[in-house]
């Protein structure tokens, strides 16, 4: 059984605390390995243990070696897909930015076994959504489940999922906006994260990614909007902002966070990061964020975002309360309440004269029931 002591031991080793003791028996080591594997931190744990000179039992080290080798092999397969997509997008004249794991493996982690990936996150411009969809489908990627309406993405929803075929299917999350809450789709400019992009080689392709300043912003706000609970994402933030400290324009970062109403999310994400992994940002930047009083809509958006999948009804209500523009909100509500036939067909299998009415009833019952029964991480209300 895993205990809080296991978590504390793992974080102490990852922080390289001078007084962080290594486990003293194989049972404790096994608990540590299980927690690290579940958190996606096996590669970083191995790196820290060897770097700090801990005495590690041979069987423990063998397990870590196997885990990191498996991660490296899976990542090479995923990066191969990223190379193909980057090449095809460039040939088609479609701008694409790599985010999160793909960008980090090319710019921060020098060993593909250090950090696992479960998908490829890409950011495209909203006007390229249809062209990029055709490109991916032509390359053999299948669209995910139908969203509420054909225009729900990219007008209201921030991403669309695709799944690649083959012996090791790869999931793609294609974003038209950096973050989930609908509020920020109306506040953050369409060209956010595109300024001064960096380019990294990947095989025969060139992969673009946000600059260090915007990468830091995306990583910390992404973690915050998911509750800042996943240790891997907090480890990403800590490693990135400490490694790229001199490359990050902290003045510009503060300015953009203020202008885009993201200071509360950034403060929350950074506070959780430093709680887990120790100090990582300049004191002046920390003090500046701490002094900003967030608007109630930013508080509500941050509180609701991690609960979106578990509670689709409050998800919709939260979006309506936090998003600007009554016409836009009216269109959003209409799309949520009146999805098109393609979505209804996935909800209700029967086909008869009144099947659409039945589908609406079934859908409404499911959504109402999910308010009290759906587990966190369940299917999105918009799928």
* Per-residue pLDDT reduced to its tens digit, 198-228: 999 999 999 999 999 999 999 999 999 999 9
Is residue 107 pLDDT above 70, yes or no?
yes
Beta carbons of 348 and 358 less than 8 angstroms apart: yes
d(CA 383, CA 380): 5
Rounded Cα distance between 289 and 282, Å, is: 11
Q: Are residues 292 and 169 in the same domain?
A: no
Domain residue limits at 192: 77-210
Q: Which residue has the higher pLDDT, 1 or 121?
A: 121
> Which phi and psi (to 5°) does residue 129 adopt?
-60, -45
Asked if pLDDT for residue 6 goes beyond 90, the answer is no
Question: If you average pLDDT over residues 334-363, what whole number do you get?
Answer: 72
Q: Are 123 and 99 in contact (CB under 8 A)?
A: yes
Q: Cα dihedral sign for 349, 319, 368, 337?
A: negative
Which tens digits make up the pLDDT trace of 116-155?
999 999 999 999 999 999 999 999 999 988 788 888 999 9
Q: Are residues 83 and 199 in the same domain?
A: yes
Say which residue, 3 or 351, is predicted with more confidence.
Answer: 351
Specify whether the CB–CB gap between 297 and 262 falls below 8 A.
Answer: no
3-state secondary structure of 160: strand
Domain-embedded: residue 61: no
Q: Is 11 among the domain residues?
A: yes
Judgement on whether residues 170 and 89 belong to the same structural domain of the protein: yes
Domain ends where: 259, 285, 307? 307
Query: Roughly what angle, to the nearest 10 degrees, separates helices 100-107 and 231-243?
Result: 40
H-state helical runs in 261-379: 263-277, 283-290, 296-304, 312-322, 326-337, 341-347, 355-373
- List, in order, residues 6 or more apart from 180 with CB less than 8 Å away: 158, 159, 225, 305, 308
What DSSP assignment string belongs to 188-257?
S-TTTT-TT-EEEEETTEEEEE--HHHHHHHHHHHHHHTTT--HHHHHHHHHHHHHTTTTS-HHHHHHHH
Q: Which of 307, 341, 365 is the last residue of a domain?
A: 307
Which residues are CB-contacts of 252 (< 8 A; sequence separation ≥ 6)?
Answer: 213
Q: Is residue 216 part of a domain?
A: yes
CA atoms within 13 A on the CB side of 199: 8
98 in the Ramachandran plot: left (φ > 0), alpha (ψ -120 to 50) or beta? beta
Identify whether 68 is part of a domain.
no
- Residue 379 within a domain: no
Same domain assignment for residues 220 and 301? yes
Question: Which has more pLDDT, 220 or 356?
Answer: 220
**CA dist 39 → 75, 117, 185, 311 (Å):** 16, 12, 30, 24
Given a cut of 50, whether residue 2 has pLDDT beyond it is no
Q: How far apart are CA 335 and CA 341, in angstroms?
A: 12
Asked whether residue 95 carries a pLDDT value surpassing 60, the answer given is yes
Structure tokens at 318: 């939260």
Pairing of strands 198-202, 96-99: unpaired
Same structural domain, 284 and 313? no
Task: Provide the pLDDT for residue 369.
Answer: 63
Q: What is the mean pLDDT of the chain?
A: 89
| Alpha-carbon radius of gyration of the chain | 22
Is residue 110 domain-resident?
A: yes
CA distances (Å), 207 to each of 85, 184, 186, 269, in order? 9, 26, 28, 27
pLDDT of residue 150: 84
Tokens linked to 104: 């980090």
Q: Are 172 and 164 in contact (CB under 8 A)?
A: yes
Q: Show the tokens assigned to 239.
A: 């490693």
Residue 238 falls within a domain, yes or no?
Answer: yes
pLDDT bin (cut points 50, 70, 90) of residue 348 is low
Using the predicted structure, report yes or no on whether residue 378 has a pLDDT greater than 70: no
- Tell which of 174, 189, 210 closes a domain: 210
- pLDDT digit string, tens, across residues 159-196: 999 998 666 789 999 999 999 999 999 999 989 999 98
| Same domain membership, residue 171 and residue 104 | yes
20 and 90 inside one domain: no
- pLDDT above 70 coverage of the chain, percent: 87
CB neighbours of residue 152 within 10 Å: 19
Strand partners, 159: 175
Q: Mean pLDDT, to the nearest integer, of 64-70?
A: 96
Cβ contact 119:126 at 8 Å = no
pLDDT over 80 at 376, yes or no: no
Q: What is the pLDDT of residues 8-48, one digit of tens each?
A: 889 988 987 656 667 778 888 999 999 999 999 999 999 99
What CA–CA distance (Å, rounded) separates 331 from 97?
Answer: 29
Give me the pLDDT at residue 383, please: 44
Judge if 181 and 277 occupy the same domain. Answer: no
Lowest mean pLDDT, pick from 314-318, 322-326, 371-375: 371-375
At 82, the pLDDT band (50, 70, 90 cuts) reads very high
Domain identity same for 281 and 328: no
Report the pLDDT averaged over residues 356-377: 59
Indicate if 84 and 205 belong to the same structural domain. Answer: yes
Question: If pLDDT is split at 50, 70 and 90, which confidence band does 53 have?
Answer: confident
| Token pair of 11 as six digits | 């974080």
Q: Are residues 268 and 237 in the same domain?
A: yes
For residue 22, the model assigns a pLDDT of 72
- The reply to whether 203 and 217 lie within a common domain is no
Is there a domain that residue 9 lies in? Answer: yes
Report pLDDT for 339. Answer: 81
| Mean pLDDT computed over 44-61 | 88
Residue 343 pLDDT:
66
| CATH code for position 142 | 3.30.460.40
Q: According to the model, what pLDDT value does residue 371 have?
A: 52
Is the model's pLDDT at 358 over the cut of 90?
no
Q: Could you tell me the sign of the dihedral formed by the alpha carbons of 153, 154, 156, 160, in that order?
A: positive
Number of domains in the chain: 4
């Amino acid at each position: 059984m895993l205990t809080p002591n296991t978590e504390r031991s793992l974080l102490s080793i990852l922080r390289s605390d001078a007084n962080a003791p290594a486990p003293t028996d194989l049972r404790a080591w096994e608990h540590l390995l299980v927690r690290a594997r579940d958190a996606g931190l096996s590669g970083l744990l191995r790196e820290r243990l060897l770097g700090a000179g801990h005495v590690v039992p041979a069987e423990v080290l063998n397990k870590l070696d196997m885990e990191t080798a498996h991660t490296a092999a899976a990542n090479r397969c995923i990066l191969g897909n990223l190379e193909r997509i980057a090449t095809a997008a460039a040939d088609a004249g479609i701008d694409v930015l790599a985010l999160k794991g793909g960008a980090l493996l090319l710019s921060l982690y020098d060993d593909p076994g250090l950090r696992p990936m479960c998908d490829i996150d890409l950011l495209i411009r909203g006007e390229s959504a249809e062209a990029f969809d055709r490109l991916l489908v032509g390359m053999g990627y299948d669209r995910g489940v139908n969203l509420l309406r054909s225009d729900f993405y990219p007008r209201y929803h921030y991403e669309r999922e695709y799944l690649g075929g083959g012996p090791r299917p790869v999931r793609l999350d294609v974003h038209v906006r950096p973050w989930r809450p609908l509020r920020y789709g109306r506040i953050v400019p369409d060209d956010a994260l595109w300024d001064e992009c960096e380019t990294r080689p990947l095989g025969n392709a060139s992969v673009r990614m946000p600059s260090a300043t915007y990468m830091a912003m995306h990583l910390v706000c992404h973690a915050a909007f998911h509750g800042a609970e996943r240790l891997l994402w907090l480890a990403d933030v800590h490693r990135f902002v400490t490694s790229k400290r001199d490359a990050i324009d902290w003045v510009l970062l503060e300015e953009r966070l203020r202008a885009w109403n993201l200071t509360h999310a950034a403060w929350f994400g950074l506070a959780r990061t430093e709680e887990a992994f120790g100090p990582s940002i300049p004191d002046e930047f920390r003090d500046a964020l701490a002094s900003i009083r967030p608007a109630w809509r930013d508080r509500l958006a941050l509180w609701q975002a991690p609960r979106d999948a578990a509670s689709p009804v409050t998800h919709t209500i939260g979006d309506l309360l936090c998003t600007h523009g009554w016409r836009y909100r009216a269109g959003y509500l209409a799309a949520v309440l009146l999805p098109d036939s393609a979505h209804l067909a996935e909800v209700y299998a029967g086909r008869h004269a009144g099947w659409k009415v039945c589908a609406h009833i079934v859908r409404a019952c499911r959504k109402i029931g999910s308010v009290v029964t759906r587990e966190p991480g369940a299917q999105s209300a918009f799928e």
